[in-house]
Amino acid sequence: GAGVSQTPSNKVTEKGKYVELRCDPISGHTALYWYRQSLGQGPEFLIYFQGTGAADDSGLPNDRFFAVRPEGSVSTLKIQRTERGDSAVYLCASSPLGLAGNTGELFFGEGSRLTVL
Tell me: does residue 1 bind other proteins (CB under 8 A): no
Let me know: does 103 contact 1? Beta carbons within 8 Å: no
Q: Is 110 in the site for other proteins (CB under 8 A)?
A: yes
Give the chain's count of helices (H) and strands (E). 0, 11
Q: Which of residues 48-87 bind other proteins (CB under 8 A)?
A: 48, 50, 55-56, 58-59
Query: How many chain residues touch other proteins (CB under 8 A)?
Result: 26
Residue number, 80 or 102, with CB nearest to other proteins: 102
**Cα separation, 16 vs 24, whole angstroms:** 26
**Shortest Å, Cβ 8 to other proteins:** 16
The SS3 of residue 85 is helix
Beta pairing partners, 93:
33, 108
At its nearest, how many Å lie between other proteins and the CB of residue 63? 20
Pairwise CA distance, residues 66 & 64, whole Å: 7
User: Applying CB under 8 A, which of residues 1, 2, 27, 40 lies at the interface with other proteins?
Assistant: 40
Cis peptide before 8 (omega within 30 of 0): yes
Residue ranges that bind other proteins, judged by CB under 8 A: 31, 33, 35, 40-45, 48, 50, 55-56, 58-59, 91, 97, 102-106, 108-111
